Structure 1
Amino acid sequence: MSFEGVHRVYFLGIGGIGMSALARWFAHEGYNVSGYDRTPSPLTDELIAEGMNVTFEDSLDTIPANVKKSPESTLIVWTPAIPKNSIQLAYFQENGFTLKKRSEVLGMVTKNFYTIAVAGTHGKTTTSSLIAHLFKDAGKPIAAFLGGITQNYESNLILGKKKSKKQRFVVVEADEFDRSFLRLHPNEAVLTSTDADHLDIYGDENTILDGFGEFIKLIDKKGKLFIQYNAADRLGAARLPKVPTRIYGLRSEGIRAENIQARPGSFVFDYVDGQKVISQLELFIPGFHNVENALAAIAIASAHEITDEEIKKGLASFRGVKRRFEIHVNQNSLVYIDDYAHHPEEIRACLSSVIAMYPASKLTVVFQPHLYSRTRDFADGFSESLSLADEVILLDIYPARELPIEGVTSEMLLEKINSKKKLVLSKGELMDYLQKSAPEVLVTLGAGDIDRLVPGIASWMNSRQKLNVV
């Protein structure tokens, strides 16, 4: 469980959000890092700017010579997203290289450091990013591997003050997809939610709960579990580990938030945990769900001797993660928010918070469903949560890794949506429609390629704001 003898690391799929964080960590640790990805992206541009050799052609000619010549001292990190017929993958498999999946390598990292792992079907990225920010802001030695790009650091890897390895903390998202979180070695863990998801992998809700139960039983026997109160109820006592367990949530009797105030652009609340109260905390990533995420981060920070004043300061300076309740426009009665939400409960949490912040404004939502199987499995839930909006615009389903399923379309969600206005548009039709309808509070949602529309929408909304056109 070490990287002894490894001098260089080559990534197959280096542009992925999880892969690129690992690539950055290896580069920071002094390894020679290079890799391949199918297409250029802002992330691969950044990796190249940071000194990594990244290629975009799946051929033997593009593999660096120092990698080809040194199978005994080169680690190949790959993702199952790489096609099985990949030329480079076959070459490495057939020529004596050591190949490890991303989840295996992350497991090796967590074995060697004190690890705080954040799991759950929603809230992982924001919670892990906030924990890492509080630690870094307080001067703690931290390395955080994140599933999103933080606004504060413009990166998916956060590095703090480096001391001896025994003192170093690692914060990592524990991803339930493909059961990869079972390779981790957590000293402490957070479990933010256990709602049904990834039924294409797990089959049914009970199997997902069993998976989370297996994960939290990996916690070191001297460690702790911080679990959201609904997640604890759903898991049941039989699945909880035999380590100290603290329950948190907006309505928890344990760690909780009191005196919550929803303001345009922030939420203010008091942190209460039975031992202390931290009053008038201000969080500039709005949302009731983000207050709940903050409770877990505050509890862990307090457990590691970060002071109340440091917590208050760190919380106020946290600017969130791109595409997690990201506010692009918030002036002159015009609001534009973009969010990664792609599950009914995530949508419900996001829209409920928007309504609390702007109760007198018309709410228009643009949603791109993600995966045919998820749309089929949670159709009623999507329709119900989207009905919170005054107007709902559905884009076509983003297929990701899936082939179409007969009868599963965005149109199938429309019938049960109870909003005053609802329609399905193509991505090409959206901008013209928005310009004609002139929304007041606009929210875009989805985990597909809807993010490519965000810059154009934000630019247009900003131009309206400058003209004070409502």
Structure 2
Amino acid sequence: MVDEVEARPLPADDSLAQVKSFADLGRVWFIGIGGSGMSVLAQMLHEAGVPVSGSDRIASHYTEHLESIGIPVTIGQKPENIHDVDTVVWSSAISADAPEMLEARRQGLLLAHRSDILALFLRTRNSIAVAGTHGKTTTSSMLATIFANAHAAGEVSATEDAAAAGEACAAGDAAFADPSFAIGGSVKTAHGTIPGGHVGTGSWMVAEADESDGSFEKYRPLIGVVTNAEGDHLDHYGTVAHYRSAFAAYIGHIQRVVVLCGDDEGAREVYNSLEPRIQQQVWVYSTDNLEKLGLPGLSEKNFVQIVTSQEMVADKPTEHGGVEETLTVRIPSSLVDGGAQVSIGLHVPGIHNARNATAALTAALLAGVSLPGVVHGLESFLGAARRFDFQGEVNGVSLYNDYGHHPTEVATFLQAARRRFPHSTLRVLFQPHTYSRTQTFTKELVDALDIADDVYLSHLFAARELASDYPGISTQTLIDEAKKRGIDAKFHYIDDMYEAGIAMAHASHPGDILSTVGGGDINLVNPTILDALHTLDR
């Protein structure tokens, strides 16, 4: 079991306010243990020495992984599953009247939201939490990679401001080696893809702070990151204004410093809503200069500028086969003695990833990592799974997968593909994600998909939502919008995602770039598409 440091106080409304150590949780049961976030926390508690088990509706690669490391998983959710346990963990995807929830209440067991478990981990480490509508997983993965590799590249930063801001708690290698991390996606490394959850022996932790249900306001990290605050999850927040107010509340709970993207309109609005005393704790990174940003209270001392970001044009797709983006940033003397302008070769393409890397760089320097350590970490980063993720190439046709489900994410992925492969035909298979998002962003989703040359749409992935709550909303909603614009000839609706993938493969020609995009289970189609490409007679 890992050594624990003194726990920091949690907000009064936290279910685990009385829990002083992981041992106090007793035997833990996860309802929906196969979820991407829940499986991460289950693995972390398991690594921390806590007896963990759980259930899910269906088996998946997540449940298979958990079973492979010794965590019992029951397929099927029913009241009789709840026995010989002390704490039951649930997520916002689980309804209050779910059978296992009702049974846990009947037995008087401790009920903990998944965010309560993450908050418990954060209070046992010097922590960095990454929030934002987009880029959370990639930025968190970059930070974890920086920390894991920092000891190989240099010592901790010697600047007084950085050490004070980040409270670097040890010297040399031991300060950053073997960090803990809680990331909602797998991370690619030189040794293969690793799960997004780990309890390390080091004193630092990096966590992805999910804003979808407002629970990120429970976290009290030393350093907080806001990559952007574009409106989303309006089924929970109701309005974009309420959504951004939640980010302001999250920032208000950060103990030391905040790193925020000045290029994003929503993030700037959040910054402007902060009290002046809190604005003084904010570091901003941007492609613009200070004068153009015009943010009150911001000075050169708290500003990191993206000078240039040059994307490479690929002749042939490869899996992390070379530098795909060259990022140049200007760093103030408050972070690096004498200031610095440094160029970094990234394996992940696009200006969005340049921004993610700059966020990670700023937060890591504030934590006390040396500049050589940061550069080494970023240049070692090979990407996060399901983010511009190369799946393979068959007969001259290449396949990528991306997790994008918000229209901005879809557009960003397709624009990056267009820039990287300017002479290729882009074909995309998109799985709409949730009824509420499809209803709210119908026009924006069609705008984003129109970037591709050929668009295939599969059934809508409902997640926690019910079709009965959104009458008239389905994948057909997007087809109808395309028809209104007269662009429906390139939109193809095939409900079964496997059949849609095969159709896309059969339409392809050598040199084409195919992609599967969505936040649901569309990635399961990738092997079918590659198999279909193998069978084509060219």
Report the TM-score when normalising by structure 1: 0.89
Asked if the contact 1:400–1:448 (Cα under 8 Å) also holds between the matched residues in 2, the reply is yes
* Residue number among 241, 245, 257 corresponding to 2:306 in the alignment: 257
Offset of residue 332 of structure 1: 7.9
Offset of residue 23 of structure 1: 1.3
Q: Does 1:182 align with 2:217?
A: yes
Amino acid at match of 1:449: D
Match of 2:25, SS state, is: coil
Offset of residue 438 of structure 1: 1.1
Aligned length: 453
Match of 1:336, SS state, is: strand
Q: Which residue of 2 aligns with 1:70?
A: none
Q: Which residue of 2 aligns with 1:248?
A: 285
Cα distance, 1:97–1:389 mapped onto 2, change above 3 Å: same
Offset of residue 159 of structure 1: 4.3
Offset of residue 460 of structure 1: 4.3
Amino acid at match of 1:114: N
1:272-329 deviation digits (Å, cap 9, x = unpaired): 2244445441211222211110110111122233233322322222122211111123
Measure the CA separation in 1 of the matches of 2:520 and 2:436: 14
Measure the CA separation in 2 of the matches of 1:333 and 1:279: 37
Offset of residue 400 of structure 1: 2.2
Match of 2:208, SS state, is: strand
Offset of residue 441 of structure 1: 1.2
Q: Which residue of 1 aligns with 2:229?
A: 194
Q: Does 1:438 align with 2:508?
A: yes
* Residue number among 136, 144, 166 corresponding to 1:124 in the alignment: 136
* Residue number among 242, 245, 248 corresponding to 1:213 in the alignment: 248
Measure the CA separation in 2 of the matches of 1:21 and 1:377: 30
Instruction: Note the aligned Cα RMSD (angstroms).
Output: 2.5
* Residue number among 19, 22, 35 corresponding to 2:38 in the alignment: 19
Q: Which residue of 1 aligns with 2:521?
A: 449
Cα distance, 1:331–1:417 mapped onto 2, change above 3 Å: farther
Asked if the contact 2:220–2:253 (Cα under 8 Å) also holds between the matched residues in 1, the reply is yes
Unaligned runs of 5+ in 2: 1-16, 152-175, 291-302, 319-323, 334-338
Q: Which residue of 1 aligns with 2:328?
A: 270
Offset of residue 78 of structure 1: 1.8
Cα distance, 1:458–1:210 mapped onto 2, change above 3 Å: same
1:89-123 deviation digits (Å, cap 9, x = unpaired): 33321223211111122222223322211111111
Cα distance, 1:458–1:312 mapped onto 2, change above 3 Å: farther
Asked if the contact 2:94–2:464 (Cα under 8 Å) also holds between the matched residues in 1, the reply is no
1:161-180 equivalences under 5 Å are 162-163=201-202, 168-180=203-215
Cα distance, 1:6–1:51 mapped onto 2, change above 3 Å: same
Q: Which residue of 1 aligns with 2:481?
A: 413
* Residue number among 124, 138, 145 corresponding to 1:133 in the alignment: 145
Measure the CA separation in 1 of the matches of 2:64 and 2:263: 41
Match of 2:433, SS state, is: coil
* Residue number among 21, 30, 42 corresponding to 2:49 in the alignment: 30
- Percent of aligned pairs sharing the same letter: 30
Measure the CA separation in 1 of the matches of 2:519 and 2:340: 36
* Residue number among 154, 179, 194 corresponding to 1:154 in the alignment: 194
Match of 1:208, SS state, is: helix
Amino acid at match of 1:328: Q
Asked if the contact 1:258–1:270 (Cα under 8 Å) also holds between the matched residues in 2, the reply is yes
Offset of residue 417 of structure 1: 7.2
Offset of residue 198 of structure 1: 0.9
Cα distance, 1:462–1:259 mapped onto 2, change above 3 Å: farther
* Residue number among 456, 471, 480 corresponding to 1:393 in the alignment: 456
Measure the CA separation in 1 of the matches of 2:81 and 2:268: 52
Q: Which residue of 2 aligns with 1:225?
A: 259
Q: Which residue of 2 aligns with 1:282?
A: 345
Of 364-373 and 87-96, deviating more is 87-96
Cα distance, 1:114–1:352 mapped onto 2, change above 3 Å: same
Q: Which has the higher contact order (CA 8 A, sep 6+)?
A: 2
Amino acid at match of 2:283: R
Cα distance, 1:10–1:396 mapped onto 2, change above 3 Å: closer
Cα distance, 1:206–1:84 mapped onto 2, change above 3 Å: closer
Measure the CA separation in 1 of the matches of 2:196 and 2:99: 29
Measure the CA separation in 1 of the matches of 2:397 and 2:279: 50
Asked if the contact 1:329–1:461 (Cα under 8 Å) also holds between the matched residues in 2, the reply is no
Amino acid at match of 2:454: E
Measure the CA separation in 2 of the matches of 1:259 and 1:350: 20
Q: Which residue of 2 aligns with 1:71?
A: none
Amino acid at match of 1:272: R
1:213-266 deviation digits (Å, cap 9, x = unpaired): 11111111x333333432432325123634421111334544233342222262
Match of 1:342, SS state, is: coil
Asked if the contact 1:261–1:269 (Cα under 8 Å) also holds between the matched residues in 2, the reply is yes
Asked if the contact 1:386–1:417 (Cα under 8 Å) also holds between the matched residues in 2, the reply is no
Measure the CA separation in 1 of the matches of 2:184 and 2:526: 19
Offset of residue 47 of structure 1: 0.9
Of 419-428 and 92-101, deviating more is 419-428
Measure the CA separation in 1 of the matches of 2:69 and 2:494: 40
Cα distance, 1:208–1:94 mapped onto 2, change above 3 Å: same
Cα distance, 1:251–1:347 mapped onto 2, change above 3 Å: farther
Offset of residue 62 of structure 1: 4.2
Cα distance, 1:78–1:372 mapped onto 2, change above 3 Å: closer
Asked if the contact 1:249–1:256 (Cα under 8 Å) also holds between the matched residues in 2, the reply is yes
Asked if the contact 1:35–1:53 (Cα under 8 Å) also holds between the matched residues in 2, the reply is yes
Match of 1:292, SS state, is: helix
Q: Which residue of 1 aligns with 2:63?
A: 44
Of 259-268 and 125-134, deviating more is 259-268
Of 121-130 and 369-378, deviating more is 369-378
Match of 1:215, SS state, is: helix
Q: Which residue of 1 aligns with 2:106?
A: 94
Match of 1:99, SS state, is: strand
1:282-301 equivalences under 5 Å are 282-301=345-364
Cα distance, 1:443–1:419 mapped onto 2, change above 3 Å: farther
Offset of residue 14 of structure 1: 1.5
Asked if the contact 1:132–1:171 (Cα under 8 Å) also holds between the matched residues in 2, the reply is yes
Q: Does 1:105 align with 2:173?
A: no
Q: Does 1:422 align with 2:491?
A: yes
Asked if the contact 1:390–1:419 (Cα under 8 Å) also holds between the matched residues in 2, the reply is no
Q: Which residue of 2 aligns with 1:323?
A: 386
